[in-house]
Structure 1
Amino acid sequence: MIPVDITYDNYTFNASRWEDDYDLTDFLSIATTRAGAGYPAPLDGPKTASGTYQIAASFCTPKKRTAKAKNVIIATHGIGPARAHWNSPYRPDEYSFSLRIFTEIAVLKRLARFVKDGKYTGDIGKPVKTAVMGFSFGSYTTHGAVATMPDIADAVILTVIGFNTTGLNSNGLVRSFEPRVANQQNPALYGNLDNGYLTWVDKFGLIWNGSYFKKPNYELAAADFVELSKSPFAVAEFLSFLSGPMDASNYTGLVLAITGETDYIVCNGYCKGIFDQPGRTYYKNAKFTPYLHPGASHHINFHKNATGAYKVIIDFLGANGL
Structure 2
Amino acid sequence: MLDSSDQYFSYWDSPYNNFNYSYVNTAVDQYKYSTLAIDRLGIGNSSHGEPLNEIQAPIEIAAIAALTKMLRDGTFPGVKQIKKVVHIGHSFGSGQTYNLVNMDPSSSDGIVLTGFSGNGSFVPVFGAGANFVQANDNQPFRLGSKIMGYSSVTNAYGALDYDAALPTPLNYPNGYLANANINSNQYNFFLPKFFDLGALVAGEQTKQPVTPGELLTLGSVPMMNAYAGPVLVITGQNDVPFCGGNCLATGDPMLASIPAAVKKSFPNAGDNFEAYIQPNTGHGLNFHYNQTGTYDVINCFLNGKGLASS
Q: TM range, normalised to the smaller chain?
A: 0.7 to 0.9
CA deviation profile, 1:117-148 (whole Å, cap 9, x unmatched): 2233635x112211111011100111111111
Tell me how far apart the structure 1 counterparts of residues 9 and 223 of structure 2 sit (CA, whole Å).
22
Q: Which has the higher helix share?
A: 1
Q: Show the counterpart of 1:79.
A: 15
Matching residue within 178, 183, 194 for 1:204 = 183
Find out whether 1:235 has 2:212 as its counterpart: yes
Which residue in the other structure is 1:193 paired with?
172
Q: What's 2:85 paired with?
A: 130
Contact 1:164-1:277 within 8 A present in 2 as well: no
Answer yes or no: is the 8 Å Cα contact 1:280–1:288 preserved in 2: yes
| The one of 299, 303, 307 aligned to 2:292 | 307
Q: Which residue matches 1:114?
A: 70
Cross-structure match for 2:277: 292
Query: Which of 97, 105, 110 in structure 1 is aligned with 2:61?
Result: 105
Q: Which amino acid is the alignment partner of residue 219 of structure 1?
A: D
Superposition pairs of residues 37-52 of structure 1, within 5 angstroms: none
Q: Distance in 2 between matches of 1:276 and 1:240?
A: 21
Q: 1:285 Cα deviation (Å)?
A: 0.8
Query: Shift in Å at residue 277 of structure 1?
Result: 4.7
Counterpart of 1:48 in structure 2 is none
Normalised TM-score (structure 1):
0.71
1:205 Cα offset (Å): 0.6
Query: Do the aligned partners of 2:125 and 2:244 also contact (CA within 8 Å) in 1?
Result: no
Cα distance in 2, alignment partners of residues 276 and 183 from structure 1: 35
Counterparts of 1:146 and 1:297, CA distance in 2: 26
- The one-letter amino acid of 1:102's match is P
Q: 1:224 to 1:156 in 2, by over 3 A?
A: same
Q: In the TM superposition, what is the alpha-carbon distance from 1:189 to its structure 2 partner?
A: 2.1
Residue matched to 2:6: 70
Q: Secondary structure at the match of 1:317?
A: helix
In 1, Cα distance between equivalents of 2:96 and 2:62: 9
SS in structure 2 at match of 1:131: strand
**Using a 3 Å threshold, how does the CA distance of structure 1 residues 228 and 78 change in structure 2: closer, same or farther?**
same
**In 2, distance between residues paired with 1:86 and 1:71?**
22
Measure the CA separation in 1 of the matches of 2:240 and 2:137: 28
Deviation at 1:228?
1.1
Structure 2 match to 1:266: 242
Are 1:217 and 2:194 matched, yes or no? yes
Residue pair 1:77, 1:134 contacting (<8 A) in 2 also: yes
**What is the deviation of 1:242?**
1.1
Shift, 1:276, TM fit: 4.2
2: distance between equivalents of 1:81 and 1:112? 24
- Answer whether contact 1:143 1:246 (CA < 8 A) is retained: no
Task: Give the aligned length.
Answer: 247
SS at match of 1:74: strand
Consecutive unaligned residues in structure 2, runs of 5 or more: 36-54, 145-170, 251-256
Asked if the contact 1:156/1:254 (under 8 Å) is kept, the reply is yes
Q: Is the 8 A contact 1:262 1:269 kept in 2?
A: yes
**2:132 aligned with 1:169, yes or no?**
no
Question: Once the 2 structures are TM-superposed, how far is the Cα of residue 164 of structure 1 from its aligned partner?
Answer: 2.5
Name stretches of at least 5 consecutive residues in structure 1 with no aligned partner: 1-59
| Aligned Cα root-mean-square deviation (Å) | 2.3
Q: Is the 8 A contact 2:22 2:286 kept in 1?
A: no
Q: 1:121 to 1:155 in 2, by over 3 A?
A: farther
Please say if residues 144 and 246 of structure 1, whose CA atoms lie closer than 8 Å, have aligned partners that are also in contact: no
1:187 Cα deviation from its structure 2 partner: 2.4
| Alpha-carbon contact 1:75-1:86 (below 8 Å) kept | no
Amino-acid identity (%): 29
Any conservation in 2 of the 1:260–1:292 contact (CA below 8 Å)? Answer: yes
